[in-house]
Amino acid sequence: TREELTRSERLAALGQLTATVSHELRNPLGTLATSVAVLQRAGGMAGERERSELDRIQRNVRRCVRIIDDLLEFSRRPNVTMVPLALDAWIVEQVADLRALSPVGLELELHCDRMIEADGERLRQVLVNLVQNAMQAVLERPAGAAPGWVAITTGCEGENVRLTVADNGVGMSEEASQRLFEPLFSTKPFGLGLGLALVQRLVERHGGRVCVTSSLGEGTRVDILLPAANTGSHHVA
């Protein structure tokens, strides 16, 4: 009888395939992007219709590149460089970029006065993925729903700091809440299903954990717990 592949072997195989296919797709897409740029520059002979079609091609090429970047990112073992980081101040720095992700109102309630050891670039990927999911869940609600919101809150919990992203979006079905960390699980028409799998992996790499609570039709809350930096010996009264 055939041996069954273990979960980690399957993930490793998926990672390899992903890395290979992503690399292979980058070249033709790069060529496509260059050709579009050339045509756009030669736009003198083009009409309104042609220009708008070229813009559409360009937008979609960019979208493909983003998907490939996500896939590549996911197939790599994340390299992290930890530095001391003041969580609240760091979040405030990210807010302008996060607001640009969507028109939905973004609320902040920051109550964490502790430092963490983190890789800012990785933590940013975590936050962006969570806010993106939250925004999308809010936008998926039927027309006429109450105003949508996404809230980022922080706090201290014992030896941990807590970073929470909550929304009043569509929430999740029973099935979705059981499968949300599965790579490639998505309920969205153009979803890749790598966001939360990556979030979980990156958070674990920081020695933390992810906890999701969701209620269908009401909203979702994702809590990230990260160990607070041990700054006791540096403490100055």
Give the residues lining the site for Mg ion (CB under 5 A). Answer: 133, 195
Residue 213 near residue 171 (C-beta atoms within 8 A) = no
Q: What span, in angstroms and rounded, lies between the C-alpha atoms of 104 and 23?
A: 35
If the CB atoms of residues 153 and 220 are measured against ligand ADP, the closer one turns out to be 220
Q: What is the 3-state secondary structure (H, E, C) of 38-50?
A: HHHHCHHHCCHHH
Site string for ligand ADP, 164-203 (x = CB under 6 A): ---x-xxxx---x---x----xxxx--xxxxxxx------
Site string for ligand ADP, 92-121 (x = CB under 6 A): ------------------------------
What residue is closest to ligand ADP based on CB? 195
DSSP states along 1-38: -PPPPPHHHHHHHHHHHHHHHHHHHHHHHHHHHHHHHH
Q: Kindly calculate the radius of gyration of the chain based on its CA atoms and give it in whole angstroms.
A: 21
Type of residue numbered 112:
C
User: At 96, phi and psi to the nearest 5?
Assistant: -60, -45
DSSP state of 146: S
Type of residue numbered 148:
G
If the CB atoms of residues 40 and 132 are measured against ligand ADP, the closer one turns out to be 132
- State in angstroms the smallest separation of the CB of 127 from ligand ADP: 13
Site string for ligand ADP, 125-164 (x = CB under 6 A): ----x---xx--x---------------------------
- For residue 193, the partner it binds in Mg ion, ligand ADP, none, with Cβ less than 5 to 8 A by kind, is ligand ADP
Bridge partners of residue 161, in order along the sequence? 156, 226
- For residue 75, the partner it binds in ligand ADP, Mg ion, none, with Cβ less than 5 to 8 A by kind, is none
- For residue 106, the partner it binds in ligand ADP, Mg ion, none, with Cβ less than 5 to 8 A by kind, is none
Tokens found for residue 177? 């809440």
- Residues in touch with ligand ADP (CB under 6 A): 129, 133-134, 137, 167, 169-172, 176, 180, 185-188, 191-197, 220
